[in-house]
Amino acid sequence: MSEIIKSELDRRSLLRRAGAVGLAAIPAVTMLSACVGGGAEETNEQATGDKSADNPLGIDPKAPVEIVIFDGGLGTKYATDVDTPIYTKKWPESKINYSATQEIGTVIQPRLNANDAPDMINNSGAKMMDFGAIVAAGQAQDLTDLFAAPSFDIAGKTVAETLVPGAIEQGTYSGKPYAVNYAYTVFGLWYNKALFEKNSWTVPATWAEFTALCEQIKGKGIVPFGYAGANAAYYMVRALLTSAGKIGGEQALKDIDNLKPGAWTAAPVLEAAKAWGEIGNKYLDKTFLGLKHTEVQLRQNQDKVAFYPCGSWLENEQAKDTPPGFQYSVAAYPSVTASDALPATALNAAAGEIYFASSKGKNPRGGMEYLRVMLSKEAALEFTKLTKSLTVVAGAADGIEISPGLTSANDAINKAGKDVFMGYLFDTWYKKLNDESLSAVNDLMFKGGDAQKFCDRMEAASQAIAEDSAVQKQTRS
């Protein structure tokens, strides 16, 4: 996730649905960026212990473990109140050294480069690090042993066998797993169900219905659609490319990831850019260009903005500002054309929120064990309760009462059925291309930029990367 936090929703059959639909299994790896060094020459002496049935990863039971958590939409209580106590109960002689920050890259990158990294890191937020570059620099621990180890609390299964399909693949780079993408996020148009019921507004399934409803909403003095240009352009890129994926099928997005010539100027992307450009010109408050995500989200909580493009972490992120009676709900992005390859109910959902163990820290085995704790059924269930977010641990939250937003996301997944698709990966593979997309989409939506200009600009940026031999290329099939 590029701008903020990636949280998830809940509902247990959602996990079952995720299992049925599956997440696309895609190896990944981005280029080595200039800000990531290869680390110091010397390596620290790393803590290890004897492997056994009770200690499958061979940790040193007495060695401390340092973890750093991103303090964003998911909060930090799952780490302080759930994961750490579970770890400490299992390994009482080991001290967990915990800290949280909203600037992961600023705090952690220098430590990675100096071979003095924390043992487990939550890489997220606007200051998240280029994880592909971290992998390429040898700064992330190979998690093969973690996924092959027995589950922390599900008897008879390895960690890998407890996860939804595709969960491991999304953290796989050049054939090896380096990250746990922990949260399972549903993306779409979020709105206040109570406001819509009060005004007898019907959630649109087609673009004509969408624009007609935007006119009605505008007539009520409410901004029909909004997002924050200052730090949440990622949300709009995902909205636009989700529409492109629905128009042309997921192959359109795979072509973008594979840097295929003409992928950005192809009809699905151009049609999506035209449709969203019209929304930007007619129904978006241009002052939002300078706002941050929480400022626009607060306006939605005040019923000043109707539709907001986001992931399912939104409900939890806004919990303290959500007034009584406000009911978060999510809708799939409407069909753009009558001949879209995927139906109106098709939905973009994927695992996200990167957690990884550092290979350059003092206790990478301890970092992996902390991840094994997080992937326990107990920890995953409590994470969902605290964050209103689903995890990649299959069946972990069966039977719990869920919030309005989570319920809506579950319904959207069920309506989508087999038409749940993962989306794209270029944003984590190629940082320069991602940065260009954020600027380009803001120009399209806020500055009256035309669709063809957007597509041409992104095509040029894509092919510049394709032709750069210094950039390590990735592919998906």
CATH of the domain at 195: 3.40.190.10
Residues 48 and 180 in one domain: yes
Is the residue at 474 inside a domain? no
Residues listed for the chain:
477
Q: Are 404 and 327 in contact (CB under 8 A)?
A: yes
Taking only the tens place, the pLDDT of each residue in 68-113 is 999 987 899 999 999 999 999 999 999 999 999 999 999 999 999 9
Residue 422 identity? M
pLDDT at 44: 60
Is the residue at 416 inside a domain? no
Query: For the chain, first and last CA: distance in Å?
Result: 21
For residue 77, the surrounding DSSP H or E stretch is helix 77-77
Is the residue at 6 inside a domain? no
Residues 140 and 250 in one domain: no
Taking only the tens place, the pLDDT of each residue in 128-185 is 998 988 998 999 999 999 999 999 999 999 999 999 777 898 888 888 999 999 998 8
Residues 200 and 173 in one domain: no
The pTM (predicted TM-score) of the whole model is: 0.73
Sequence-distant (6+) residues with CB within 8 A of 127 are: 102, 103, 104, 105, 106
pLDDT at 30: 33
Taking only the tens place, the pLDDT of each residue in 446-456 is 999 899 999 99
* Ramachandran bin of 84, using left for φ above 0, alpha for ψ from -120 to 50, beta for the remaining angles: alpha
Write 47-56 long-range contacts (CB < 8 A, 24+): 47/362, 47/363, 47/365, 47/366, 48/365, 49/365, 53/150, 56/145, 56/149, 56/150
120-129, 293-302, 403-412: which has the minimum mean pLDDT? Answer: 403-412
Residues 336 and 441 in one domain: yes
* Number of domains into which the chain is organized: 2
Taking only the tens place, the pLDDT of each residue in 260-289 is 999 999 999 999 999 999 999 999 999 999
Taking only the tens place, the pLDDT of each residue in 305-350 is 999 999 988 998 899 999 999 999 999 999 999 999 999 999 998 8
Residues 433 and 363 in one domain: no
Residues 451 and 364 in one domain: no
Judged against a pLDDT cut of 60, whether residue 1 lies above it is answered with no
Residues 37 and 150 in one domain: yes
Residues 155 and 251 in one domain: no
Quote the mean pLDDT of the chain: 89
Judged against a pLDDT cut of 50, whether residue 18 lies above it is answered with no
CB atoms within 10 A of CB 114: 12
pLDDT at 126: 81
Residues 220 and 276 in one domain: yes
**Local structure of 314: helix, strand or coil:** helix
Residues 320 and 198 in one domain: yes
Beta strand 347-357 with 420-421 is parallel
Range of the domain at 331: 186-348+425-466
pLDDT at 196: 98
DSSP 291: -
- The residues pairing with 356 across neighbouring beta strands, listed in sequence order, are 121
Q: How far apart are CA 46 and CA 114, in angstroms?
A: 15
**Local structure of 331: helix, strand or coil:** strand
